[in-house]
Structures are given as structure tokens and as C-alpha cells.
Amino acid sequence: MKRKKFSDFRSDTVTKPTEEMREAMARAVVGDDVLGDDPTVKKLERLAAKTIGKESAIFVPSGTMGNTLSLMVAGEKGTEIILEEKSHIYNYESGNLSKFVGLIPRPIPSENGEMPIEKIKENIKVSLRMHIPRTSMIALENTHNYHGGNVLSLKYIEEISKIARENNLHLHLDGARVFNAATYLDVDVKEITKHFDSVMFCLSKGLCSPIGSIVAGKRKFIEKVKFWRKSFGGGMRQVGILAAAGIISIEKMTKRLKEDHKRARMLAEGIANYNGINVNLENVKTNFVMVDLVEMDAFTFLEKLKEHGVLALPFSDKRVRFVTHNDIDDEDVFRGVEAIRKVLE
Ligand code: TLP
């Protein structure tokens, strides 16, 4: 069999739709979804809501839009949102939090994506005087992208949810990869999502859909998200073509993530003893492997790696991220292990 040009570990966003998805897309019954006429979108949204354990769900074009809309609806402009210092919402969503949403970020540093409980409590503000903005929301990220695909413990989430309820705060989950978290914990995804008022998850990452994310929550909340989705230009017409792939993402692709986790571990173990890099094996829980370079800079490392047919993504000057997914097989992992060895030689 001909070897593919590149083994692409840059992200699970690079996954191509499966053959089954392409067939379902070709056959999808569609209608104008802005007018509420698309039966395939309705089916996807019902399935998503049921799977996540929420009253209602809505299909949106991207994770960034899903998070932005959730925060627009749940947070009141000029109030504060508590979120982890390295969170995707705060760092990698084009500044939407300030550009569109108008919440004041109250970022809290953490070692692994779990903000210290005491720090959260200290930072919840009640508006005692009119010049003090109150806190209205907390957002968590699970799995946590910057922290190497780390999984937040159920005990931690439960504790945060209790704090949110006690303080009347909306709790949002950036669950772009929440099915990876559920797979790692070996629990039904609802064990995670039941603690949140709103959940965003992506169909277009490890779940292989070409486009799309879901926002789920209470019916009233989702109606408001729908309103804002239209304002943002995210009202889509015969989008059942994409929803057809999303249905397969939820029904099938959520069940195979263990394979990606196994391959991430294979890669990490294969390179862990190399000189010139550090890999913390304990932190490899899901489909990410974070590689810290001792001397070489990430740019040079990645250029050389590419010459050996392997792609990954820089996370800082000295840190590189490898992600496993449906289009990475054992051969790709062996190739990755070998290519990294040659680059470090
Ligand atoms: N993350 C992408 C890029 O931003 C780097 C990736 O390759 O990991 N939340 C989390 C936790 C994410 O990791 C991402 C995408 C998003 C939200 C945004 O999703 P999209 O790309 O669909 O807007």
C-alpha cells in the first residue's frame, strides 16, 4: 500500500469524514433549517440533547461560535467570568470574550486545568457597591487543550458545580473534547455534563465531522442561542448535509476514542527516553502528547520533522503538541517515533 505523504499529528481537527459519513451526507434529507424545515438537523439536535442529557441542543458552525454564543446568552455584559488562565475561551478565540461578549475575564492559573477551589471562592465577587462588577459565570474546559488533553476529575467538577449553584453562577463547559474525557474516565458523558448549565462540544475534532459543534442546555437558553446564531451569520440553510455526518459522529465515533488514546500512549512511550526532549507520561491521558524540547526550538524541530513526513503543532518556543485521531494508525505512530529520533540525532 502506498504510504501517505504526511502523518498528520497537528490536531484532531484534520480528520476527514469517513466513507459512511460521505454516504450519509449524499443521501441526507434536507430543508431550510432557518425556517425550521431540515429533518436531519432536527434529528441531530435531538440526539445531541439526549446524549448530553440536556433539554435542548443546537447545531452551530464551530466550537468558537458555540462558546461565544453560550457566553453571550448566559453572561450579563460588564460582569465577570472565572476561567482558567490558559483556557481556549480566554486565549484562542480571537478575543471574542471582549470583542463580542463583553464579560470581564477573571483568569485563574492552574497546574493542570483544575483551578484551585480556594482561588475560585476568593475570586467570586458580589456587587456590594455599584462600581464593583459582580461575577456571573464560571467556565471549565474538559479535556483541557493547553494542559495536554488533561481530564478534570468528576469530584472536582462536582465541587465547582456546588460552588456555582451556591453563588447563583452559570456554569459553562467548553467540552470541545468532552467525549475524550468520558472515554478516559470510562463513564457515560452525562456523568460529566450533568453538572453544567450549558455545554459546547465539537463534532469536527476527534469525531470526524467535516464541520460543526453543538451547544446544549435548557430549552429557553437554546432558543436564545438560536437568536444570536442568526445574528452572527450562523443560520444555515440545507445543513442536514452536515448534520448527517454529525449523527454518525455521536452514534459511532464517540465509541472509538480509546484507540486514539492508546496510540497517544504508544507514541509517548516510544519517545519518552530520547535525549533532547521531555515527555511527562503521567500527563498523557487522552489523545494529546506534549513534547518539551530541551535545546532545539519548536520551529526548527517541526521543520526537520516535516522532512521526515511528520507534522505536529508548536505550542510555544519549546513545546510541541502531537494529537492522535481517526486518520492516525499504528504505522503513523511508528513513523512519528522514528522521525523524532532522527530529528534529535
Ligand atoms: N482547538 C484547536 C485550535 O484552536 C488550536 C485545536 O487544534 O486544538 N475549545 C477547545 C478546547 C478547542 O481545543 C478548540 C479548538 C475550540 C474550543 C474551538 O473550536 P473550533 O476550532 O471549532 O472553533
Summarised one tens digit per residue, pLDDT across range 43-65 is: 999 999 999 999 999 999 999 99
Distance 293 CA to ligand 1 centre (A): 23
Tell which one of 10, 83, 92, 144 to mutate to probe ligand 1, the residue whose CB is within 8 A of the most ligand atoms.
92
pLDDT (tens digit per residue) in 187-211: 999 999 999 999 999 999 999 999 9
Cα radius of gyration (the chain): 20
pLDDT of residue 126: 87
Alpha helices in the chain (DSSP H): 19-27, 39-52, 63-74, 88-91, 96, 117-123, 154-166, 178-185, 190-193, 219-231, 240-251, 257-271, 298-307, 330-344
**Within 13 Å of residue 30, how many CA atoms lie on the same side as its CB?**
17
Question: Residue whose CA is closest, atom 19 of ligand 1?
Answer: 63
Of 248, 221, 174, which is closest to residue 20 (Cα–Cα)?
248
pLDDT of residue 2: 66
Helix, strand, coil percentages, rounded to 5, for the chain: 45, 15, 40
User: Is any atom of ligand 1 closer than 6 Å to the C-beta of 202?
Assistant: yes
**Rounded Cα–Cα distance for residues 289 and 270 (Å):** 11
pTM: 0.97
Percent of the chain surpassing pLDDT 90: 97
Distance 11 CA to ligand 1 centre (A): 9
User: Is any atom of ligand 1 closer than 6 Å to the C-beta of 173?
Assistant: no
pLDDT of residue 128: 72
Count other Cβ atoms within 10 Å, centred on residue 314.
16
Average pLDDT over residues 140-160: 98
Query: In the structure, what pLDDT confidence band is assigned to residue 336 with cuts at 50, 70 and 90?
Result: very high
pLDDT (tens digit per residue) in 218-258: 999 999 999 999 999 999 999 999 999 999 999 999 999 99
Query: In the structure, what pLDDT confidence band is assigned to residue 1 with cuts at 50, 70 and 90?
Result: low
How far CA 200 is from CA of 48, 87, 161, 171, in Å, comes to 11, 14, 16, 12
> Does residue 3 carry a pLDDT above 80?
no
Position in ligand 1 atom list of the atom nearest CA 144:
11
Query: In the structure, what pLDDT confidence band is assigned to residue 129 with cuts at 50, 70 and 90?
Result: confident
User: Is any atom of ligand 1 closer than 6 Å to the C-beta of 64?
Assistant: yes
pLDDT of residue 130: 80
pLDDT of residue 4: 87
User: Is any atom of ligand 1 closer than 6 Å to the C-beta of 145?
Assistant: yes
- CATH for 31-251, options being 3.40.640.10, 3.40.50.300, 3.30.870.10, 3.30.420.40: 3.40.640.10
**Rounded Cα–Cα distance for residues 166 and 248 (Å):** 38
Q: Which residue has the cell 469525531?
A: 207
Distance 335 CA to ligand 1 centre (A): 26
pLDDT (tens digit per residue) in 290-312: 999 999 999 999 999 999 999 99
User: Is any atom of ligand 1 closer than 6 Å to the C-beta of 12?
Assistant: no
- 118 burial (CB, 10 Å; 0-12 / 13-18 / 19+) is exposed
Domain layout of the chain by residue ranges: 7-14+256-344, 31-251
Position in ligand 1 atom list of the atom nearest CA 65:
23
Tell how strand 277-278 and strand 213-217 pair up: unpaired
The domain 7-14+256-344 belongs to what CATH superfamily?
Answer: Aspartate Aminotransferase, domain 1 (3.90.1150.10)
Distance 39 CA to ligand 1 centre (A): 28
Q: Which three cell numbers stand for residue 123?
A: 475570586
User: Is any atom of ligand 1 closer than 6 Å to the C-beta of 215?
Assistant: no
Question: Residue whose CA is closest, atom 4 of ligand 1?
Answer: 92
CA dihedral 42, 48, 54, 55 (to 10 degrees): 10
User: Is any atom of ligand 1 closer than 6 Å to the C-beta of 58?
Assistant: no
pLDDT of residue 127: 72
Distance 78 CA to ligand 1 centre (A): 25
Q: With beta carbons less than 8 A apart as the criterion, state whether 4 and 14 touch.
A: no
Position in ligand 1 atom list of the atom nearest CA 93:
18
- 235 burial (CB, 10 Å; 0-12 / 13-18 / 19+) is middle
Distance 88 CA to ligand 1 centre (A): 7
Of 3, 343, 12, which is closest to residue 177 (Cα–Cα)?
12
Length of the chain counted residue by residue: 345
Q: At a CB cut-off of 8 Å and minimum separation 6, what does 278 contact?
A: 291, 292, 294
**Rounded Cα–Cα distance for residues 71 and 100 (Å):** 10
